[in-house]
Amino acid sequence: MKIVEEKNEVTIVFAGDSGDGIQLTGTQFTTTNALFGNDISTFPDYPAEIRAPQGTVAGVSGFQLKFGSNEVYTPGDICDVLVAMNAAALKVNLPRLRKNGTIILNTDGFNAKDIKLAKYENNPLEDKSLDDYRTIQIDVSKLTKAALVDSGMGKKEIDRSRNMFVLGFLYYMYSRKLENTEKFIKEKFAKKPELIDANLKVLNAGYNYADTSEIFTSRYNVKAAELPKGEYRSIMGNQATAIGLVAASQKAGLDLFYGTYPITPASDILHELAKHKNFGVKTFQAEDEIAAICSVIGAAFGGKLGVTASSGPGIALKGEAIGLGVMLELPMVICNVQRGGPSTGLPTKTEQSDLLQAIYGRNGEAPMPVIAASSPSDCFETVYEAVRIAIEHMTPVFFLSDGYIANGSEPWKFPNPDSLKEIKAPFINGEVEKPFLPYRRDQNFVRRWAIPGVEGLEHRIGGLEKQDETGDVSYDPENHEKMVKIRQAKVDAVVNSIPLQEINNGLPEGEVLVIGWGSTFGVIKTAVKKAVEEGVKVGHIHLRYLNPLPKNLGELIQKFDHVIVPEMNNGQLVKILRDKYLVDAKGINKIKGIPFSTQEIIDAIEDSIIKV
């Protein structure tokens, strides 16, 4: 009987070739711990090259998971356990492992060919380079083959089951049950009973091997976290975005039309929405990005909730049509799941590089509200808010996410539907005035939503400048300037319907204010919490509303001596803050396709004080 040691939190990295099922393994381990009640945060790390040669550093797929009995805000800076399926996976991820950490190695991935492909000079299993770590060497391939010796399956099919052996091994190591993954296997391979049998055998073989071998004398357990009472599920950012869109469409009483063209890392929004036709969701995969956004304009003109999603390259292609949506003043939501750029850039790597594109990246004066999610679960509330603003203010709205948020996961508490904000569409009801003025506005410069096909609501559409109130084509210089000012004033008026900014973490005044947006939330929160514990007078503001900015933001900034702005770009929000508030904000920039570490933010806080 092995002793069970209690841990407060554990960070694990799974790594191997793309064909090793690394993402599936990480997702299953995540789901099991989420169901157990741990707080979790994940970071899937896909290869930059979609079909990189097997065994090479470029082809390594990774999945980092942190689970704990306390609140978890990031997937961790360094890991406690590294699972490496081959030599390249070890080489890429060993720097992320703490000294005395545990390495679980598939020895079959360290033959002469694998060592050469990973560009090792010597076999790391033999040259004592791993002496500072606790190394568990397992021939996963051999043991998987032994478990399936009578299955009649070929070598290729057997190798595909190796990830289940590792998963079973870790379930035993961390005192977790197999039921969730067994259920998943039965559902996934419902039409292929031979694969159900094979994967279950290998899963149990890994669990039993850990139980009966003398590899370690103790098991580990991470108790459930004390989260607020409620019903939870593990959710990824793209899933939360899709569900938030459905919830908003239901609350507004509108059918949801989603027109898109697939692109990494936004495609899973389409996949999730396609499952919800019972809620009046219509999904349309267009032939290209331009067709996608134009279909959304048509849906919005017809009285539906029109939504599209893409990443930076696709947003660039949609630019002119988005401007048309601004000119027509139609409620649309444009989701940008950001990735590294420019052009094709780093399709599988995360970045916050499209903020200026969202705020300014259209021809002419085409202002739009812009809001950004800060975590996978926050995507639900933030995209819901994007829909509310779009409908109630009759304007296209940008919703920003990124690859880190989109593919990461964390526990999400199901909201009470009654707690969601009301969304009231400004449809024209009752008797229509004559002559009908489609661009007559209320006090917030919002026009009413005139649905085509209704007698008396006929009006002109198109991208040419509109005459005030009538919407007729106008080339008058004075009218053009007036309309530009009106469209800007309408976006500016959104500030009256959004909450005042709060200090998210840390102190309300002091030496350093850290201002962030998007997926830097967790790491900034962790760093600020540690800095405060060490006596630094630091506060943290995280912006959801990026255009317009909350009306009290300037007042909050003035309460601190120094302002730093960590961003995964070359300095975009910092430019906006300097322009808006004339503040000497300092940019802390990381453009490597990977998130900040907690220590990087702590160092930046300390440096901002020391350099004065």
Q: Does residue 476 sit in the same domain as residue 604?
A: no
pLDDT-derived band at 347 (thresholds 50, 70, 90) equals very high
Give the pLDDT confidence score for residue 611 in this predicted structure: 60
Q: Are residues 483 and 561 in the same domain?
A: no
What are the E-state strand segments in 214-331? 218-222, 232-236, 256-260, 281-285, 305-310
Q: Which domain holds residue 288?
A: 228-498
Last residue of some domain: 474, 498, 522? Answer: 498
Q: What is the pLDDT of residue 218?
A: 78
Residue 402 has pLDDT above 90, yes or no: yes
| Residue 348 shares a structural domain with residue 411 | yes
The CATH number linked to 71 is 3.40.920.10
Q: Same structural domain for residues 469 and 536? A: no
Specify the pTM. 0.94
Are both 475 and 516 inside the same structural domain? no
pLDDT in tens, 580-591: 999 999 999 999
Beta bridge partners of 258: 283, 307
List pLDDT tens digits, range 363-387: 999 999 999 999 999 999 999 999 9
Same structural domain, 124 and 163: yes
User: In degrees, to the nearest 5, what angle opens at C-alpha 442 toward C-alphas 437 and 448?
Assistant: 50
Among residues 454, 471, 498, the one where a domain terminates is 498
> What pLDDT score does 216 carry?
74
Average pLDDT over the chain, rounded to whole? 94
The pLDDT score that the predictor gives to residue 430 is 73
What CATH number should be reported for the domain holding residue 583? 3.40.50.920
Q: Are 271 and 241 in contact (CB under 8 A)?
A: no
Q: Smallest Cα–Cα separation from 206: which of 67, 8, 4, 28?
A: 28
Same domain, 82 and 190: yes
User: Do 269 and 169 lie in a common domain?
Assistant: no
Q: What percent of the chain shows pLDDT beyond 70?
A: 99
Classified as helix, coil or strand, 442 is: coil
CA 525 to chain centre: 17
Same domain (yes/no): 149, 277: no
Domain final residue pick, 222, 246, 261: 222
DSSP state of 441: B
pLDDT at residue 343 is higher than 90: yes
- Let me know whether 413 and 516 are in one domain: no
Domain shared by 251 and 215, yes or no: no
313: preceding bond cis by omega (within 30 degrees): no
Per-residue pLDDT tens over the stretch 483-501: 999 999 999 999 999 999 9
Neighbours of 434 (CB within 10 A): 7
- Say what the pLDDT of residue 237 is: 97
Whether pLDDT at 52 is above 90: no
Helices (H), 20-131: 22-36, 87-93, 112-117
The tens digit of pLDDT for each residue in 234-284 reads 999 999 999 999 999 999 999 999 999 999 999 999 999 999 999 999 999
Q: Are residues 534 and 459 in the same domain?
A: no
> What tokens appear for 241 in the block?
């975005």
Number of domains in the chain: 3
pLDDT score at 103: 96
Using the predicted structure, report yes or no on whether residue 6 has a pLDDT greater than 80. Answer: yes
On the question of a cis peptide bond just before residue 265, with omega within 30 degrees of 0, the verdict is yes
Q: Which residue from 293, 292, 286 is spatially nearest to 328, judged by alpha carbons?
A: 293
